[in-house]
């Protein structure tokens, strides 16, 4: 928050409203005389709380006494409880009290509540133009609505009625300040206290004025004069507390606030000031409680709205912070503080585009280094590095000794590929930053990223001396030593980090990786398990152990661990994406899809979530939804080459090949050596029979990356389409020699068989299988090919072999069930049951089991499974055909016709297309 709690135009205007209470007359009544007389005595002594008690007793004895009601309303106004004040004054009016008695107090209560237009409407009658209090209240209302000319006219009229009237003088001072005429404002303030030396509100106003002028000593003297006149003045204690907070005299401020609260327990401004004090002292939860109390009663009290946004931002409650700060920014677009805080909130929430939008109107002419730095961060996150660098350079020029700005500028330079300039800026930042480790650790991490391990160690040395108990510094030191191939020293550094903080998982993870490099997998697993025994809800450890279980084909255990990680923090993006990947590997893409849709609700604009969801939609055949998701991804991350690649791939899947080419070319503009985009673009050219363009992209990849297989594969694919398999074979062979993986072997195998080299193809496969006995991809591919070629026994052999290696592997169980079915083997149904037990959420497995059950006549079990499978994988025509045939068996012709209509309309060509059209004709 600003060191000045209120500006004169804000707080002093509020004081103008507050001081009106002192000028309302105290009515005298006959009954109950004693109570009213005692209340009046208490008020004269400044003890409004005791007066309130006596007046409540008077009203209780005679509820129809208008004088008692009015006096009670006056007292409520003095104590800052405007709602109760209005209620009592209106009762006095209902009991027949004359308007000239009740109106000033009613107007005061309405001013307190911000009902300024009501005040203006109520004072429009010329009958009130001779009442100095009413005329001044009318001026205050005009001022609060920003109508300075009308306000000045009203205050001048009041001074004609009473030349020393303090409310009018203070009102004119406010107007002078708003017009930036400080000299005139000072004259009006001095006139107010000179003409009214015992008037509390005039001294309060002078205190506010001096505070706004940066004269804290003079302001404190004015507030002390208020308290000398009335030791129980809630306003005096409150304004003194504001000043003491600004001066960081927190204990004294707390004493003043306690006094204010004692005398005005319902005054909302006391709650606001308490929130300000708690916020400045780091007591954020207490600050939020006080602010919620204020905002429940006065939801449009803008200082509380702003402070609530700052508190929620500090508490990382970003949606709530956004709500408050957006409301304040819309009401006060001139506030750079609110603008910067709103932009920072959006950056923290992963919305750099929104941050840019709020900063754009002012960033061009701004001389605020902090604002420019925030804008630079927003553009960096939006991957507009040129603009980010420009803004950060401007910020650094304004504040050249700010280490944080130098750090941000260095990182921006790094993203632009200017490695030497980046390191230079980071080294300067590290030199400037002698109080924290931030700049130094950033330099060390950057040096590690650039494989400059000695520079990383040099950056860490002073940090280690300055912060010997920081485990992160030891962890970075271990990584640098590991880069220098000194594993023993690296292990010692990681162990030291762990000894400093036993719950520091990065050190555990690095030690586990060292164990893994030493091929001591048992030690790796035991290290993770030991850590989880101490910290069972550590998401990173659960995820790491789950990933290890996946790699070792312990699939059930992997699922349990990864689901535990997701249960600990359902909104965490990283663990959920790993779990989704596990589901996909288990053949349960539909289950992964459900998980990512839930995650998107918590992270609606997160690029990683959008990316994973879109990929899953592609995997489940829902290419139309994938295209929509990837379009959102390019909006969320417009400078991401990967985002445009994903969108291009989705267009290609929808056969929108010109659009696919455009998106892929955009990706390559952003990242010219992006291999996946090059490969996809070559494929798009190929599908459009743009053979020369496809070959050009393929050969470009070969030149750029001669040791990678993709360029050779791409050229071979073109030749294969051109029916030149013989020329494609050496290219596939070259690619396989470079990549040596199952996918490349399968391509080579297919090309060899096309040209009739079946024996050579089979021999290459046998060589691979002998060298890679644990591989399941090639056996799985062969099994599927055997099914397609109706060699069911050979397919059964392949899938049974896979299951010996991974007994609960769902896709193998599912495909084996299909092979058994086609071979007429009675083991089909029990095998499908096993697949369903292993992965009950898989649409493919549900389809296999459901279709087998329907064929056995068990519609009761089979039909719901097929409905579920089709709902999960609506883009797979075979599943929809099975459902339609089951519905025909169930004699639900309308539902069957609906499924077949969709099937024939959306899938013009698929293997069972003629069968589907024939069934539709029969219906």
Radius of gyration of the chain from Cα atoms? 38
Q: What phi and psi values does residue 722 have, to the nearest 5 degrees?
A: -80, 10
229, two tokens = 């006149």
Q: Give the pLDDT mean for 326-333.
A: 89
pLDDT band at residue 428 under the 50/70/90 scheme: low
Burial 385-406 (b: 16+ CB within 10 A, else e): bebbbbbbbbbbebbeebbbbb
pLDDT for the residue numbered 76: 87
Residue 788 lies in a domain: no
For 210-219, how does the pLDDT look when each residue is reduced to its tens digit (9 = 90+)? 888 889 999 8
pLDDT for the residue numbered 715: 94
Q: Residue 68: which domain range?
A: 8-281
Nearest-angstrom CA–CA distance, 266 and 276: 17
DSSP letter assigned to residue 559: H
Q: How many CB atoms lie within 10 A of CB 679?
A: 20
| Among 826, 819, 829, residue whose Cα is nearest residue 791 | 819
- Give kind and range of the element (H or E) at residue 324: helix 318-331
Distance of CA 878 to the CA centre of its chain: 40
Non-local (6+) Cβ contacts of 911 within 8 A are 878
Q: Token pair 């003043």 is at which residue?
A: 256
Q: Token pair 């008077």 is at which residue?
A: 58
Q: Give the pLDDT mean for 426-442.
A: 64
Better-predicted residue by pLDDT, 40 or 30: 40
**Residue 64 DSSP SS3:** coil
Residue 734 lies in a domain: no
Q: How many CB atoms lie within 10 A of CB 103?
A: 22
pLDDT for the residue numbered 756: 94
Nearest-angstrom CA–CA distance, 269 and 338: 20
pLDDT band at residue 431 under the 50/70/90 scheme: low
Residue 621 lies in a domain: no
| pLDDT > 90 in the chain, percent | 35
Residues in the chain: 923
Whether the predicted pLDDT of 103 surpasses 80: yes
pLDDT band at residue 323 under the 50/70/90 scheme: very high
| Among 14, 9, 261, 24, residue whose Cα is nearest residue 114 | 14
Angle (nearest 5°) at CA 80 between 24 and 170: 55
Residue 41 lies in a domain: yes
Distance of CA 893 to the CA centre of its chain: 49
Whether the predicted pLDDT of 311 surpasses 60: yes
pTM, 2 dp: 0.49
Average pLDDT, the chain: 85
CA atoms within 13 A on the CB side of 735: 26
Nearest-angstrom CA–CA distance, 732 and 757: 14
Q: Give the pLDDT mean for 624-652.
A: 90
| pLDDT > 70 in the chain, percent | 91
281-287 long-range Cβ contacts below 8 angstroms, 24+ apart: 281/250, 284/311, 284/314, 284/315, 285/315, 287/311
CA distances to 771, 774, 776 from 804, rounded to whole Å, are 18, 10, 11
Nearest-angstrom CA–CA distance, 244 and 225: 16
Non-local (6+) Cβ contacts of 701 within 8 A are 675, 678, 679, 682, 708, 710, 711, 714
| Among 651, 694, 700, 649, residue whose Cα is nearest residue 672 | 700
Q: Specify whether the CB–CB gap between 478 and 497 falls below 8 A.
A: yes
CA distances to 277, 287, 314, 744, 832 from 283, rounded to whole Å, are 8, 6, 11, 61, 59
Q: Give the pLDDT mean for 129-134.
A: 84
pLDDT for the residue numbered 436: 64
Q: In the chain, how many domains are there?
A: 1
Nearest-angstrom CA–CA distance, 819 and 51: 93
Q: Specify whether the CB–CB gap between 25 and 34 falls below 8 A.
A: no
Q: Token pair 């053979």 is at which residue?
A: 691
39, two tokens = 């209340």
Q: Specify whether the CB–CB gap between 116 and 145 falls below 8 A.
A: yes
Nearest-angstrom CA–CA distance, 122 and 748: 91
Residue 362 lies in a domain: no
Burial of 153 (0-12, 13-18, 19+ CB in 10 A): middle
pLDDT for the residue numbered 447: 75
Nearest-angstrom CA–CA distance, 207 and 204: 5
Q: Give the pLDDT mean for 49-76.
A: 86
Residue 33 lies in a domain: yes
Nearest-angstrom CA–CA distance, 652 and 658: 9
661, two tokens = 């080419």
First to last CA, the chain: 73
pLDDT for the residue numbered 386: 78
- Calculate the dihedral angle through the C-alpha atoms of 85, 87, 91, 97, rounding to the nearest 10 degrees: 40
Residue 80 lies in a domain: yes
Q: How many CB atoms lie within 10 A of CB 785?
A: 17
Lowest mean pLDDT among 13-22, 24-33, 273-282, 622-631: 13-22
693, two tokens = 């363009």
Nearest-angstrom CA–CA distance, 360 and 339: 10
Helices (H), 46-123: 48-61, 66-78, 82-94, 99-112, 116-122
**Residue 529 DSSP SS3:** helix
pLDDT for the residue numbered 17: 37
Better-predicted residue by pLDDT, 620 or 490: 490
DSSP letter assigned to residue 26: P
pLDDT for the residue numbered 539: 84
Q: What is the widest separation between alpha-carbon atoms in the chain?
A: 121
CA atoms within 13 A on the CB side of 214: 2
- Calculate the dihedral angle through the C-alpha atoms of 910, 912, 915, 920, rounding to the nearest 10 degrees: -50
CA distances to 558, 735, 742 from 776, rounded to whole Å, are 18, 21, 9
Nearest-angstrom CA–CA distance, 712 and 702: 7
Nearest-angstrom CA–CA distance, 98 and 66: 10
pLDDT for the residue numbered 150: 92
Cis peptide before 32 (omega within 30 of 0): yes
Lowest mean pLDDT among 8-12, 253-257, 262-266, 353-357: 8-12
For 374-413, how does the pLDDT look when each residue is reduced to its tens digit (9 = 90+)? 888 888 778 787 787 787 778 777 777 766 666 666 566 6
Lowest mean pLDDT among 187-201, 372-386, 508-522, 844-858: 372-386
CATH of the domain at 169: 1.25.40.10
365, two tokens = 């002419």
Residue 190 lies in a domain: yes
Q: Specify whether the CB–CB gap between 183 and 172 falls below 8 A.
A: no
Nearest-angstrom CA–CA distance, 825 and 817: 9
Nearest-angstrom CA–CA distance, 659 and 664: 9
| Among 594, 597, 591, 595, residue whose Cα is nearest residue 610 | 597
Nearest-angstrom CA–CA distance, 182 and 188: 10
| Among 156, 186, 153, 185, residue whose Cα is nearest residue 168 | 156
| Among 302, 17, 305, residue whose Cα is nearest residue 174 | 17
**Residue 723 DSSP SS3:** coil
- Give kind and range of the element (H or E) at residue 482: helix 471-483
């Amino acid at each position: 928050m600003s060191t000045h709690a209120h500006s004169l135009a804000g707080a002093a205007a509020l004081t103008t409203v507050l001081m009106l209470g002192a000028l309302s007359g105290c009515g005298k009544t006959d009954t109950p005389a004693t109570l009213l007389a005692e209340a009046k005595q208490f008020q004269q002594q400044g003890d409004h709380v005791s007066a309130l008690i006596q007046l409540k007793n008077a009203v209780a004895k005679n509820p129809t006494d208008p004088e008692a009601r009015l006096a009670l309303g006056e007292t409520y106004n003095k104590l800052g409880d405007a709602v109760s004040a209005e209620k009592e004054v209106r009762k006095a009016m209902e009991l027949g009290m004359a308007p000239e008695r009740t109106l000033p107090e009613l107007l005061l209560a309405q001013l307190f509540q911000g009902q300024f237009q009501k005040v203006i409407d109520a004072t429009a009658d010329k009958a009130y133009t001779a009442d100095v209090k009413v005329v001044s209240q009318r001026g205050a209302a005009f001022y609060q609505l920003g109508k300075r000319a009308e306000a000045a006219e009203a205050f001048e009229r009041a001074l004609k009625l009473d030349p020393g009237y303090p409310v009018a003088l203070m009102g004119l001072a406010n107007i002078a300040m708003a017009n930036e005429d400080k000299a005139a404002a000072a004259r009006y303030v001095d006139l107010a206290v000179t003409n009214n030396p015992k008037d509390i509100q005039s001294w309060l106003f002078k205190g506010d004025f001096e505070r706004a002028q940066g004269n804290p000593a003079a302001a404190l003297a004015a507030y002390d004069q208020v308290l000398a006149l009335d030791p129980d003045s809630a306003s005096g204690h409150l304004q003194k507390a504001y000043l003491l907070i600004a001066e960081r005299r927190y204990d004294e401020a707390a004493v003043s606030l306690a006094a204010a609260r004692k005398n005005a327990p319902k005054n909302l401004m006391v709650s606001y000031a308490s929130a300000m004090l708690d916020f400045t002292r780091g007591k954020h939860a207490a600050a939020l409680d006080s602010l919620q109390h204020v905002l429940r009663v006065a939801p449009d009290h803008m200082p509380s709205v702003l402070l609530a946004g700052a508190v929620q931002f500090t508490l990382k409650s970003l949606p709530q912070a956004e709500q408050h700060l957006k409301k304040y920014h819309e009401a006060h677009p001139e506030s750079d503080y609110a603008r910067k805080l709103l932009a920072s909130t959006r950056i923290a929430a992963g919305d750099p585009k929104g941050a840019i939008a709020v900063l754009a109107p002012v960033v061009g002419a701004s001389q605020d280094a902090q604002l420019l730095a925030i804008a630079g961060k927003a553009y960096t996150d939006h991957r507009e590095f040129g603009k980010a660098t420009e803004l950060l350079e401007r910020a650094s020029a304004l504040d050249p000794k700010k280490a944080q700005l130098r750090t941000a500028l260095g990182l921006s330079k790094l993203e632009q590929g200017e490695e030497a300039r980046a390191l230079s800026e980071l080294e300067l930042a590290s030199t400037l930053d002698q109080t924290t480790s931030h700049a130094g650790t950033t330099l060390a991490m950057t040096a590690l990223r650039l494989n400059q391990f000695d520079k990383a160690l040099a950056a860490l040395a002073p940090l280690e001396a300055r912060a010997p108990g920081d485990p992160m510094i030891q962890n970075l030191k271990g990584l640098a030593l590991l880069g220098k191939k000194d594993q023993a020293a690296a292990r010692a550094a990681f162990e030291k980090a762990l000894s400093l903080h036993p719950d520091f998982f990065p050190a555990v993870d690095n030690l586990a990786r060292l164990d893994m490099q030493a091929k001591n997998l048992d030690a790796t697993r035991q290290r993770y398990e030991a850590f989880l025994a101490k910290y069972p809800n550590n998401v990173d450890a659960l995820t790491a152990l789950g990933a290890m279980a996946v790699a070792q084909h312990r699939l059930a255990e992997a699922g349990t661990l990864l689901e535990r990680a997701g249960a600990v923090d359902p909104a965490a993006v990283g663990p959920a994406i790993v779990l989704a990947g596990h589901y996909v590997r288990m053949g349960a893409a539909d289950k992964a899809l459900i998980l990512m849709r839930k995650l998107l609700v918590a992270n609606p604009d997160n690029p990683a979530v959008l990316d994973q969801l879109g990929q899953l939609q592609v995997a489940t055949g829902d290419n139309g939804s994938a295209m929509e998701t990837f379009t959102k991804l390019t909006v969320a991350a417009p400078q991401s080459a990967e985002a445009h690649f994903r969108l291009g791939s989705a267009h290609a899947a929808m056969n929108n090949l010109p659009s696919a080419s455009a998106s892929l070319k955009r990706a390559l503009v952003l990242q010219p050596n992006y291999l996946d985009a090059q490969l996809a673009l070559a494929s798009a050219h190929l599908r459009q029979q743009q053979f020369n363009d496809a070959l050009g992209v393929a050969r470009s990849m070969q030149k750029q990356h001669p040791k990678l297989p993709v360029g050779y594969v791409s050229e071979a694919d073109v030749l294969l389409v051109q029916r030149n398999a013989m020329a494609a074979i050496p290219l596939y062979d070259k690619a396989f020699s470079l990549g040596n993986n199952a996918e490349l072997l399968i391509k080579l195998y297919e090309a060899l068989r096309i040209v009739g080299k079946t024996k050579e193809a089979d021999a290459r496969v046998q060589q691979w299988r002998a060298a890679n006995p644990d591989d399941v991809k090639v056996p799985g591919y062969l099994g599927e090919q055997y099914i397609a070629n109706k060699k069911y026994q050979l397919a059964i052999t392949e899938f049974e072999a896979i299951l010996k290696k991974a007994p609960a592997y769902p896709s193998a169980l599912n495909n084996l069930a299909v092979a058994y079915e086609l071979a007429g083997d009675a083991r089909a149904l029990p095998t499908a049951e096993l697949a369903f037990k292993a992965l009950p959420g898989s649409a493919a497995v549900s389809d296999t089991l459901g279709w087998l059950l329907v064929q056995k006549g068990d519609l009761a079990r089979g039909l719901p499974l097929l409905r579920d499978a089709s709902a999960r994988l609506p883009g797979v025509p075979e599943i929809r055909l099975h459902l339609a045939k089951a519905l025909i068996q169930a004699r639900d012709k309308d539902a069957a016709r609906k499924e077949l209509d969709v099937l024939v309309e959306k899938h013009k060509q698929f293997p069972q297309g003629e069968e589907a059209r024939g069934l539709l004709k029969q219906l």
